[in-house]
Amino acid sequence: MVEECIPIEKLTLESKNSAITARVSRLWDSYRFHDEKDLLSTDMVLIDKQGSYIQASIKGSISHLFKKRIAEGSVYYIKNFNVVPNKAQYRVVGDNKLMIQLYPNTFVRSLSEDSLGIPTFAIPNHRFDLLDFDKVESRMGETYILTDVVGQVCCEGEVINKNSRGNSIPSLMLELHDLRAEKVRVTLWGESVDNYMRQKSMLENGIIVGVFTSTLVKRYMNNAVLSSTSATKIYLDLDIDEVIALKKKSSSSAREHIIQPLIIEQQEELDRNAVLSKLKTIGEVLAITKTDFKDGTLLFCVATIYDIHNNNGWYYNSCGCKGIIKAYGRNFWCKKCNKTVNDAIPRFRIELGVKDATDCTKFIVFDDVAEKMIGQSAPSIYDMQEKLEENEDSVGEVPAIIANLIGQRWVFRVKLTEYNRTAYRQSFTANKVLEESNLEPPRNEELNSPTVELALCDDGPSKRRRLSEDFTQREGKALQE
């Protein structure tokens, strides 16, 4: 028998000389981003018999001291460790504010059933924070917590080697379905690909349901997708209620047993010459609205942001379908989905006052475009703004990170619609933005074609970029002001 241990849930920052008995549920190594040979730490998830869990970490410099002493799945008596605040980013155990730090003098002893005093199966093998698929979008851009999901593998792409940090790394994209037929895609990288393929090869042909842990939510083709990390673990056909329910739901249909090939859309790539051929000044764009233009016409325009119009706010409430939702009692109503929604997801809708040397107008940018410009997701900014608005003086103000757009210069792709035929005050949806450097000729391209310098309004006329003579002639002498 081991001496009395403290439950994980009772640990505090003041816990000294404490001991715990726990199972190492997950174990992984974390490396420096640009150097896979530079081991930062060995990390693990510990679970005790009460089902409480916590992340534990060993610094890379002393990790070798524990390599042969700790194995994934085994139960250990652990003493002489420090309890420290949980990580500010990439938390594996997101709902625990604490974590454990092991040191060279930390005592670790493997326990058998005899020494433990209870059957080892009394300590859970796993615990996950499984996120519903319709909530995945809300974690876009969040880095403080990693995401666990469970789903049936319905579609599978091909293993493709991609270049990352100078190395060729295998990647594999899967499409998962949940009990409500919601879909989400997950991209596996490196060892996660090997792990998935190895487990899959050991299963008999049939329904494949997997738990995918510690993933990051990213954006691909305007959709939220999951991406594996060094902490990701994959468990296929795990004996837990969520997996059993998914397998039971799908077992009634023979079609559900077949994994379909996944068609992966390619990111849209814009040819520089194609952009230049549709490049217009704001004055020209406004003039086109008075002609018999084709609905859906796409034009490009180089403009400087001079204001953020905040009369309609900087975001709208949406559900997972990205449609607008309205308050409906204590919940929300999505007209597009024709259903009630419990949680609102804030998405960007920012009205930008833009100008060039010819005129000014309003461009409206939505979620994915705005996120590219700002560098943060709407939910993360919303959370920060909520805290700031506890001070009444800041209520209703444009968040500073959005206000920082003022003075920036972008290439906007704007769309002309039926609205623009009759609008008294014109505004345009900008459905894509490019950095102005995209209009520069490649370094290996001949630079003897007619060009002229274009002033950058945000940094004064001393900084200049090259654009086609055709576009510059339209702005005329105003560019020299």
User: What pLDDT was estimated at residue 30?
Assistant: 87
Q: Are 301 and 409 in contact (CB under 8 A)?
A: no
pLDDT in tens, the chain (481 residues): 556 789 999 999 998 888 999 999 999 998 875 556 788 899 999 999 999 999 999 999 999 999 999 999 999 999 999 999 998 888 999 888 999 999 999 999 998 876 777 787 889 999 999 999 988 988 887 778 999 999 999 999 999 988 766 678 899 999 999 988 889 999 999 999 999 999 999 987 778 999 999 999 987 776 889 999 999 999 999 999 999 999 988 776 545 567 888 877 665 666 788 889 999 999 999 999 999 999 999 999 999 999 999 999 999 998 877 788 888 888 888 888 888 888 788 889 999 999 999 999 999 999 889 988 988 888 878 877 776 666 555 556 889 999 999 999 999 999 999 999 988 889 999 999 988 887 877 644 433 333 222 233 333 333 333 344 444 444 443 333 3
Task: Give the type of residue at 182.
Answer: E
User: What pLDDT was estimated at residue 65?
Assistant: 95
In a 3-state reduction of DSSP, which class is residue 107? strand
User: What pLDDT was estimated at residue 456?
Assistant: 31
CATH number of 8-122: 2.40.50.140
* Tokens at 477, concatenated: 């002498």
User: What pLDDT was estimated at residue 10?
Assistant: 94
User: What pLDDT was estimated at residue 440?
Assistant: 79
b/e 338-362 (16+ beta carbons within 10 angstroms → b): eeebeebbbbbbbbbbbebbbbebe
Q: Are 152 and 174 in contact (CB under 8 A)?
A: no
CA distance 170 to 195: 12
User: What pLDDT was estimated at residue 218?
Assistant: 87
pLDDT tens readout for residues 41-80: 999 999 999 999 999 999 999 999 999 999 999 999 999 9
CA distance 114 to 458: 73
CA distance 238 to 92: 20
Bridge-based pairing of strands 427-434 and 360-366 is parallel
* Tokens at 478, concatenated: 């105003």
**Environment class of 417 (CB within 10 Å of its CB; exposed 0-12, middle 13-18, buried 19+):** middle
CA distance 360 to 263: 42
What is the pTM assigned to this prediction?
0.62
User: What pLDDT was estimated at residue 224?
Assistant: 86
In the chain, CATH 2.40.50.140 covers 8-122, 133-261, 272-480
Q: Are 87 and 40 in contact (CB under 8 A)?
A: no
Beta-carbon contacts of residue 183 (< 8 Å; ≥ 6 apart): 133, 154, 175, 176, 177
Distance of CA 283 to the CA centre of its chain: 37
CA distance 395 to 405: 20
Name residue 326's beta-bridge partners: 333
CA distance 303 to 285: 12
**Under CATH, what is the fold of the domain 133-261?**
OB fold (Dihydrolipoamide Acetyltransferase, E2P) (2.40.50)
Hey, what CATH class is 272-480 in? Answer: mainly beta
